[in-house]
Each structure stands twice: as C-alpha cells, then as structure tokens.
Amino acid sequence: MPIRSLTLALAAALLAAQAAPLAAQVTETPVAFDSAGRVPTITQPMAERLRLAPPAWPVLGSFVSARLYSRSDSGYTLVVARSNGSLDRYELSEPGAAALRGLVQHAVASGHRAGLGEQTTLYSDPAGNAFVRNQALLGLFVYGPAASVLAGSSGNDGSAAAAAELLVAGGTFFAALARRSADPPVTTAQNILATNAAVQGAAFGGALAYAADVRTPEAAALFFLGGSVGGTIGGLARARRMTDAEAASAAFAGYAAPLTALGVMGAAGVFDGPGETGRPAAGIAAGTMLLGYPLGVAYARRAPYTVTAGDVRAMTTSAALGVAIAATPFMDGQHHDQKAQYAALTGGLLGGIILGDRLLVRPRDHTRSDGALLWTGATAGALVGLGVGAGGEASSRTTWGLATGGALLGVIATEAVLRPAIGGSRGTLAAGARAADGRVSRVTGGRMQLSIDPLGAVFAATGQRGRFSVMRVSF
C-alpha cells in the first residue's frame, strides 16, 4: 500500500510539472537614447553635461556607463555599469523610457546651451594609456628639466640636479598611472587639453618671467615649472565637460593666438627698438594665449558645420604649410626687412588657418587618425622635395620651395586617398543618421542646398584618377 501511494504521488507531481507554464524568454535589444542614434551610451560626464536628473533619470552616484534596452515583453531596462564591475538594472515603463529619451533628445537639440556643441562628438571616451604616456613624456622633457634647474642651480650641484630630474620624471609616470585608475577616468578631451596646456603653460611662465625681468635661473625655472604644472591641472579641470573637438580647438587656438599677436607686434615694429621693448610684448602674447582658449571652444561649438578633433589636426597642417609658403621668399640667405618677415609669416599663418577651414574642415569630417596622417603626408612630401633639391644642388630658396611644394602635394594626395566622410552642418547633423560606411545622411527640411567641394575640384583639375564630388545639390 505505501508503494502504491508513492507511485501515485510521483505520477501526480509529473503531471503537475507538465501542466505548469514555462517561463517566457525575454529578449533585450539595445536602443539609443535619441531618435537619431547618436547617443547609444551615456557616461557620467555626459549625464552631467546633459543635465540628466530624477525622476526621468533614476541613476544616482558615480557610474561608468549606462545603456538602454527594449524588452520583448514590453517596457525597457536601463543597465548601469559601476566602477567596481557591478551592474544595476532599472526597469522603465513605456512612458518612463519616453520621458528619458525626450529629455536626452531635448538636451542634444539645444546642445550649445547645454554646453555640448551640436557639431562635435557628444562625449569623450576615457584616454587610458595615452594619458600616462603623454604625462611621462612631459615629466621627462618639461617637468624634470625645470626641477633640475631648481635643485642644482643655486648650489651648482650637478648630482642634486640629476637626482631631481630623474625623480620628477619617474614620479610623473606613477602619478599619471594612479590618476588613470581613478574614478571618474581621464577622458580623451582632458588628455588633449592637459597635454597641450602643459607645453603652453611652460611658455606662459617663461614669457611672464621674461616680462618681469627675472634674472636668476632658479626663479625662471620656478615660473616655467609652475606654468607647466598649472597648465596640466587647469586642462584636466577645464576639459572635464568638453568634447574632443572642443579640447583640440582650444589647444590649437592656445598656440595660434599668441603667435598671431607676436607677428602683428613684429610687423608694427615693436621689436625694432631696444631689447627692453620685448618684455611688454611677451606679457601681451601670454595674455592672448589665455584669450585663445575660449575662442577655440566657441569655434568648435558655434561653427555652422561639423568640426571634429581630426579637423583641427588637419587645420594645424594647413597652418604650418601657410607659414612655410610665406617663408619661401626669405630663404635666400640675404638680409630682409624684419617687419616684412613678421607680416608675411603672420599672413601665412592666418591664411593657412582660413584655407584649412574652407578646404579641409568645412567639406569633410576627419577622424583624429586622418588628421595625423595628413601631417605625415605633408612631412613625407617635404622630404621628397628636399631630396630633389639636394640631388640637384639647388639653392636654399629653391630647395625650401621644393620641400614646401612637396608637402602641399603630399597633403592633397593623402586627402585623396583618405576620402573622409562628407561634413555635416548645424541642424542637419542632429537630424541625420550615420550609415554603416561612416557617412552622414542629411535632412535639409525641404529646401534645396548647393555646396561645392574645393578639394574635389582640385583633384578633377589635376587629372587625379577616381571618383570625386565637385558639386552637391541637396533637396
């Protein structure tokens, strides 16, 4: 009897298990936070820049990244990755997800008011090892030498100077390594601005020391070291809410503004007088360096076309080419009027910037690697030109002209091979979507737009083989 009862109980259990409904599988599909698909992930700095807050944004505390998923059983899931590796999941209803996406969409649409800049990448990825590498180089070539002068100049102690340089250079690496692992991580924008601001800060400190007539080497080294370290700290703080394009543009303007100021003062004859007249000019140039930062950020944010960090690198190449071309008439070893030289070089710098903006930045969207390769192409072309000049035993001016022409052809050839994505414009970029090939699909709101690609016209005129866009008509 007990065996029969046990058999009946097992049979009933099996029947109940078969009758119980199986749990339905739930599939989660990642979706972007905006309708254009430009914001697939939100990092903590981006959330702060977009001013996300409860109740639409339920995330509290520090985090690494957040992604939104659509569930097959209706509703959404917000998955948040924390710095300790844990994942927090927030269940959102259809109205809740719509409210969150609407908040992000509105912040992106009013990007310049939210500190975004519609024309730039919306957020900056962590810099990672690049930050450590750059700081190690700064420690070796900027911080360390200044520290060695401070340590060994007054007592003429060579061992103390060498020890200070080695300690500072090595210590900078470990300090950067510790900062790399901190939370929040150093972004690429912070790395760009902090690295350039360290060099510019050193020049700023040196200019102030010269303007103040500092005479002792250790005092001048203190200005130099303080400026470089202050530039690094300021760059990290200022670029925390910047995009890569904004940081790169600010850094570029930090170089271009003081060089322009020095060129204008030189063309006006400021440096023709006694040596003391250069001290106020150094102070003025240092002041224009500080003015260049907000101008650079404004350019990246307010330009009516896309400005990327790679575009800024490309403009750096065009600016250097402009200076090189302007210097060609003065490369014959003869004496020339100093004012004319300053005026020509300044005009070349500004002309290179303007032409770079028109021919490289406006029609195309360069990646950072594109910008770096353009500079490499210019260098390779210049080396070819120098080789031709050296082989033909040409004069100094001819050799310089060949090098400059080779650099220009190198840029044109590199741009033709790269063929960066067609540039977007304000409004159309926010409404467009980036296709699989990286190009931007633009919406013009029903109005016809006509645009000309100058580089395409150059390639066509010079007989370059390939397909080039000379004119585009958008409806």
**What are the tens digits of pLDDT across the range 151-202?**
876 555 678 888 889 999 999 999 999 998 887 889 889 999 999 999 999 9
Q: How many CB atoms lie within 10 A of CB 144?
A: 21
**What are the tens digits of pLDDT across the range 107-155?**
776 554 444 444 455 567 788 899 999 999 999 999 999 999 888 765 5
In this prediction, residue 435 carries a pLDDT of: 34
Q: pTM of the predicted model, to two decimals? A: 0.71
pLDDT (average), residues 284-303: 92
pLDDT (average), residues 68-96: 90
Residue 440 has pLDDT above 50, yes or no: no
Total length of the chain: 475
Question: Greater confidence, 439 or 469?
Answer: 469
pLDDT (average), residues 4-28: 59
Residue 75 has pLDDT above 50, yes or no: yes
Domain boundaries in the chain? Answer: 27-109
Mean pLDDT of the chain: 82
Residue 276 has pLDDT above 50, yes or no: yes
